[in-house]
Amino acid sequence: MSPALRFLFSTGSLYTYGIDRCFALAARAGFDGIELMADRRWDTRQPEYLLGLMDRFALPIAAVHVPLESDVLSGWPDDYAGRIVQTVELAQALAAGVVVHHLPPRFLMFWLRGRKARLPVLLPGKEPYSAWLETSYAALQARAGATLCIENMPAVQIAGARWNLSRWNSAEGLARFPCITLDTTHLGTWGLDPLAVYDRLRDRVRHVHLSNFDGKEHRRPEDGRLPLDRLLARLGADGYGGAVTVELAPDALNAGHADEEVAGLMAASLRYCREAVGK
């Protein structure tokens, strides 16, 4: 196994739990660090509190994920480019080496706020985030102090067909960016083999989101259609120097059950990953 290969636990895997509980479970399961999913909760965005958790559980925050576009955040910018800049500042305060962010939508997007949800309205045209990526992204990357890694996005099923709602969401499109987060379950929604895509983009892959796909996204690495053991073995053989984040859905970890059961599932997934890298 590559000595540099670290396995992180994404707090987004248990977004229905408090951040301190995510740290406690990740430490109990034996993870090497944390990928922080920043969201509307101040506990995910205040450096002093997060540094205290890092010290308390002896787990570094090695990556920070920009809040989702649909999140309503107090005290942070509403535009996605502004959120990336703000997340870079958070990552700098935490000494996190990676900032993960999404590809832009292919359409102008407006959010309508209802009583229970915010719904997107898509209109033809080039939205501002795409333009920002073309004009200002490289300058931010140069001064960030962290690696900005743009993430491939899933297919959206509409009327039984796959639809691509993200700009540059292909191997060719992603190749325009210097650093990529390779998300395996998102590739699964397109019927793609993660190892084949990794081989095409290897020089740009700086971060990995690892989870399986069985018709539902973000399944445990050992449960699903994707041969993730082959990808992990290749990462180990290549001496891949980035981190691998296990990013799951809460139901894949039986969230709401006893902590012993949840931590046991986390530990089993981590064991699968480490054994696969050593093959």
Distance CA 53, CA 58 (A): 8
Q: How do residues 54-92 score in pLDDT, each as one tens digit?
A: 999 999 999 999 999 888 899 999 999 999 999 999 999
Within-domain flag for 128 = yes
Q: Tens digits of per-residue pLDDT, 115-129?
A: 555 555 555 556 789
Residue 1 lies in a domain: no
Say if residue 114's pLDDT is above 60: no
Q: How far apart are CA 34 and CA 10, in angstroms?
A: 6
140 domain-assigned: yes
Question: CATH code at 187?
Answer: 3.20.20.150
Q: Is residue 88 part of a domain?
A: yes
Domain that holds residue 224: 6-277
Average pLDDT over residues 123-145: 87
Q: What is the pTM of this model?
A: 0.93
Tokens encoding 180 = 């990529």
Residue 3's pLDDT band (boundaries 50, 70, 90)? low
Provide, rounded to the nearest whole percent, the portion of the chain with pLDDT above 90: 85
3-state class (DSSP) for residue 162: strand
- Residue 92 is predicted with a pLDDT of 98
Handedness of CA 253, 222, 57, 10 (dihedral sign): negative
- What total number of domains does the chain contain? 1
- Among candidate residues 230, 152, 223, the one with its CA nearest the CA of residue 184: 152
CA dihedral 181, 184, 185, 190 (to 10 degrees): 100
